[in-house]
Amino acid sequence: MTSPSPAPASAPADPLRKFSNELHALAEQFRERAVTLREVMDTLGTRASGLLIVILALPFCAPISIPGLSVPFGAVILVLAGCYALGLPPWLPARLLAVKLPPRFFRAVLEGASKFIGWIERQLRPRWPWLTSSPARLRLHALAVCAGAFLLLLPLGGIPFTNTLPALVVVLGTLGMMERDGVAVTAAYGLLTATVAYFATFAGLMLQLLDRAKAWIVG
């Protein structure tokens, strides 16, 4: 993520335009070959942490077929967001840095999530500064991103919305912090609450089914 210090008041609001440019540049640079997360972080530079979190969560917000990646992507997001919440510099273990993104991954993200990216660019702007003006509050908000990442990495891909909802929490929370948009951060909290309720409801239904199956077997 960006530095926890707030942007200067004189800085022009440019919600996610730089993010779009970064994504287009990555799509061009890594067009035809697989690329490791280490290469991506080296390319992104100082904004690597926040941009990488958003990039890895975006595919699960759009109908892009990337089976088997929610666990490693969720783990990467969890570690990066956890470092930020603890006030530590961005860090990933060697095993996660070696994770490879498939060829044309960034192009697929652009094509699959272009409408969502465009909507975000139009909506995000600095708002409700009391929520995002201090480093301590930003680190607190990073915990919501950690929660979304944890739910994303659970291997429940066959269940509707169990990847999409946590990914939306991650994207809204991270971009809200990067753009100092308290409305987006609040929306991320609301969506996280709804996501936890959804997961809890599903878990309750599964427990009921298991109890009924057990009773049928015993009976």
What pLDDT does 142 receive?
94
Q: Which domain holds residue 90?
A: 17-218
∠ Cα 197 203 207 (to 5°):
145
pLDDT-derived band at 187, boundaries 50, 70, 90: very high
Question: Does residue 5 form part of some domain?
Answer: no
Give the tens place of pLDDT for each residue, 77-136: 999 999 999 988 888 899 889 988 888 888 888 888 888 888 887 888 899 988 888 889
Question: Does residue 2 form part of some domain?
Answer: no
Question: Does residue 109 form part of some domain?
Answer: yes
Question: What is residue 87's DSSP assignment?
Answer: T
Question: Does residue 6 form part of some domain?
Answer: no
Question: Does residue 162 form part of some domain?
Answer: yes
Instruction: Indicate the number of domains in the chain.
Output: 1
- 87, 90, 95, 97 alpha-carbon torsion, rounded to 10°: 170
Question: Does residue 99 form part of some domain?
Answer: yes
**Hey, which residues does 127 pair with through a beta bridge?**
181
Which residues are CB-neighbours of 174 under 8 A, at least 6 positions away? 1, 50, 53, 54, 57, 81, 145
Question: Does residue 12 form part of some domain?
Answer: no
Distances (CA, A) of 110 to 23, 92, 118, 190, 196: 7, 25, 10, 27, 28
CB atoms < 10 A from the CB of 140, how many?
13
Give the tens place of pLDDT for each residue, 128-178: 988 888 889 999 999 999 999 999 988 876 677 888 899 999 999 999 998
Question: Does residue 47 form part of some domain?
Answer: yes
